[in-house]
Structure formats: structure tokens, C-alpha cells
Structure 1
Amino acid sequence: MADNRSSGTKVPTTVDVYLYIPNIIGYIRILMNCVAFAICFQNKILFSFLYLISFVCDALDGHFARKFNQVSTFGAVLDMVTDRVSTACLLLILSQVYRPGLIFLFLLALDIGSHWFQMYSTFLLGKTSHKDVKDSTSWLFRAYYGNKMFMGFCCVSCEVLYIMLFLLAETQIESLRLVLANAVRRSWITAGLLGLLGFGWGTKQLVNLIQMKTAADVCVLHDINNKKKQ
């Protein structure tokens, strides 16, 4: 590391940042997901295990980043890209397993689109985090990003629901409506779990819609303000 004599602190090199503990966890997540998706149709149980472990590690990298003072922009981007790509791949698989598959492709587009708009609007506003929504007029939007437990519940609900749908499919082409109906009739526990997960999933999709609209407004207002200055 190079010495910063003016502050007496050590400035990390590029290699140091790449080898931060949370970033290494990010690389491990990517590797687990690659293996998981490679075997998803051959071994559903192992796929689900690897995918969910990778998802759990998403919380660990943030913990270690704060604990060892290894917060980095690269790590934040790596974390978000890994999350979005992992979910996108799972939704793409579900679109091939279930009919109508267009539902899952729409969810994929909404997930990526809303987060991309939110990230870009964050830069336009000069904020340091896309989770800084204290000035939002939507109480649900503020509650989602302002309460880690609530946000965690919604995120976990989505991922677990998608994994459950994958495990419930007995053939490669299934009717989503019939699979859900059979699962609900089969057991009240399964019905209750699907209902709970569905609530968290639905909340997150609503937040994604609010997020996209709010971020789009920021982009439009940015252009309008620039026109006024000319």
C-alpha cells in the first residue's frame, strides 16, 4: 500500500480493493451461481441449495465491508450486478418451465429496469446510495429502503418463492395456474407459505414500479431544469 503522508493513513491499491474480503465473497457468489445454473435441470435440490447460499452471502459481504472498513464502490456495483444477474437467470429459467412464460420475462425487465433507473437517478441527484429515498413522497418506498428488516423480508420472499416454483414444476413445461392450485390444495402449510411469500413478493414488485416511476421523474426533471438554464 502507498502512504498518504498528509493524513497518515494508507491508501489501498487497485489489487487491495479487488482482494477486499467482501469482494472475495462476491466472487464466490458468482462461482456458486455458475455451478448452480449449470446443473439446475440435472439436480434441482443442489441448484436450490447453491442459489440460496449465494443469496445469503449477499448479507455477509455488507457485514464484512463495514466490520473491516472495506466499503468500496466496486464492491457495491459487484453486489448489485450479481443480485440482478442471478435473479434474471432464475426468472429466465422459470419462463422456460412455466406457461405463460411472458410473466417471468416481464418481472425480469421490471427488476433490471427499475434498478437501472434508480441507480442513474441517484448519480443525477448527487446521492451516495440508491437506497437514500428519504425525500420520496411514497411512504411505501421510504418504508422499504428505510427498514432493513422489511426490505430483507421482501427480497427473501421473492427469491424463495421463485425457488419454490422451480421445485414444484415436475416437467419442463407446466401451467403456472395449475401448479399453484395443486400446491395450495395439497397442504395448508404450503398454502400459508405461498401466501406469506406472495405478500413479500407483491410488495417488492410494487416498490419496483414506484422506484421506476420516481427515478424516471428525476431524469425528466433533470432535462427540464437544464433547458431552463439555457
Structure 2
Amino acid sequence: MVKNSTPRPRKLLVYLYVPNIVGYVRVLMNCFAFAICYSNKKLFSILYFLSFVCDAIDGWCARKFNQVSTFGAVLDMVTDRISTACLLVILSQVYSPGLIFLSLLALDISSHWLQMYSTFLLGKGSHKDVKDSTNWLFRAYYGNRKFMGYCCVACEVLYIILFLVADNETENLADVLLSLAKQSSPLTFITALSLFGWAIKQIVNVIQMKTAADVCVLYDINKKQASS
């Protein structure tokens, strides 16, 4: 039997892929940002947003240097989900009713977890491969990188704005949004633009959760029929 002469890449080599190193920097940046979030809101917002921007940078590096890896994809998603979750938890303590932000957190994590799991069941290489979906918005979201980028940026920018404008720990969310709407300033325009992209992303999250749940259910049905 002829042995495969192609050398297997060492584990350390994959860990040290350029996009993965960018991912580690994102983790460290987020850790420091959340450590100072209450003492320095502006610096927190800058670091948090830079970490978010680095998500696009590591994706570019992965394609540029041909260093796409499953570990890198998982690292990206975990970093994204945890950083957003932490900010949503903070907002739930700053605003009332806090249940709104905790519900958004639950929707974000559950929809992406189900999507990742359904991707593995279908044998797909990426959770963004939704070409076979019957929902046009779902296909448009993952099929158009610019559209998806706008929705993701809008979502994070909206959360950052809400954190920056909060003066105390008992803010009423409706009052703050109404106050922002009454102002004639660039911040009002940015908030409105972000709110629209945020709304689309939440709708996509609901669609994603339902679609992924259907895949899991169909997998169970087919498995039971095959064994009977």
C-alpha cells in the first residue's frame, strides 16, 4: 500500500494562519473594550467597532493567502456572537425593559447555532450557503455581501449609539429613541439608517431559525424512514 506523500500541515501552522491571528487580536480587543466600557464609553465604542471591522479583514486575509479554515470560521462566529451578546447584556442593564435586549440575544445565538448545525447535517461547507432556500430575503442576505455587510454594521452601530447616549442605568428605550427622532442631526440620520438595517437582520434571524429547524426536523424524519 502506497502511503500518501503529501505532508499534513501541523496544527500550530493552522493556528498561526494570518486570518486566525487577526481573530486573536479581535478577542483581545474585545476583552479590553468591555473591561473599560463603563469608565470610557468612547474608547470602548472605538475598540468594539474596530474589532467588528476586523471581521471583514480576516475574511479578506483568508481568501488572499488561501488560508480558509474551519477553525477560523468557528472562531469568527464565536467572537461575533459573544461580543454582541455581551453588549446586549450591558444594554439590558442600562435600558428598560431589559427583556427586549435579552430576547434579541437569545434570537441571535439560537438562530446562528441552529444554522450552523443544519449546515453540518446537509454537508455544506458554509452556513452562508443558502442558494437552495425558497425565501428570497434569506437568499438576498447571504447572497449579497454588501447587503449583508450593511445589515450587520447597522445592527452593531445601533447598539453602540444606544450605549453612548444612555445617561444613567434606568433609561426608557422608547423615550431615548423618541428623543433621537426629534433631533435634526447626523446622529438622527445614522440611527434611522441603522434601525432599518437592524430590523432586516432580525427578520433574517427569524427566517434562519425557522429554516434551520425545518432542516433538523426533516433529517429526523428521513432517518426514521430509512431505519424502518
In the alignment, which of 33, 40, 46 is matched to residue 43 of structure 1? 40
Equivalent position of 1:83 in the other structure? 80
Equivalent position of 2:208 in the other structure? 211
Give the Cα–Cα distance (whole angstroms) in 1 for the partners of residues 156 and 57 of structure 2. Answer: 17
Q: Deviations over 1:44-82 (max 9, x none)?
A: 000000000000000000111111111111111001000
Map 1:19-30 onto structure 2 (within 5 A). 19-30=16-27
Equivalent position of 2:179 in the other structure? 182
The 8 Å contact of residues 161 and 194 in structure 1, kept in 2 or not, is answered as yes
Equivalent position of 1:198 in the other structure? 195
How far 1:182 moved relative to its partner? 1.2
How far 1:188 moved relative to its partner? 4.5
| Amino acid paired to 1:59 | A
Equivalent position of 2:150 in the other structure? 153
Equivalent position of 2:29 in the other structure? 32
| Normalised TM-score (structure 1) | 0.95
Give the Cα–Cα distance (whole angstroms) in 2 for the partners of residues 101 and 133 of structure 1. Answer: 33
The answer to whether structure 1 residue 62 and structure 2 residue 66 are counterparts is: no
**What percent identity do the matched residue pairs reach?**
69
Give the Cα–Cα distance (whole angstroms) in 2 for the partners of residues 5 and 117 of structure 1. Answer: 37
Runs (4+) of structure 1 moved beyond 3 Å?
Answer: 4-7
How far 1:190 moved relative to its partner? 2.8
Give the Cα–Cα distance (whole angstroms) in 2 for the partners of residues 13 and 69 of structure 1. Answer: 16
The 8 Å contact of residues 110 and 208 in structure 1, kept in 2 or not, is answered as yes
How far 1:114 moved relative to its partner? 0.1
SS for the counterpart of 1:11 is coil
SS for the counterpart of 2:39 is coil
Give the Cα–Cα distance (whole angstroms) in 1 for the partners of residues 214 and 177 of structure 2. Answer: 37
Q: Where in structure 2 are there 5+ consecutive unaligned residues?
A: none
Map 1:123-138 onto structure 2 (within 5 A). 123-138=120-135
The answer to whether structure 1 residue 93 and structure 2 residue 90 are counterparts is: yes
The 8 Å contact of residues 114 and 212 in structure 1, kept in 2 or not, is answered as yes
The 8 Å contact of residues 184 and 190 in structure 1, kept in 2 or not, is answered as no
Give the Cα–Cα distance (whole angstroms) in 2 for the partners of residues 48 and 206 of structure 1. Answer: 26
Give the Cα–Cα distance (whole angstroms) in 2 for the partners of residues 12 and 187 of structure 1. Answer: 57
SS for the counterpart of 1:133 is coil
How far 1:173 moved relative to its partner? 1.8
Q: Deviations over 1:77-132 (max 9, x none)?
A: 00100000000000000000000000000000000000000000000001010000
| Normalised TM-score (structure 2) | 0.96
Give the Cα–Cα distance (whole angstroms) in 1 for the partners of residues 52 and 13 of structure 2. Answer: 25
Aligned length in residues: 225
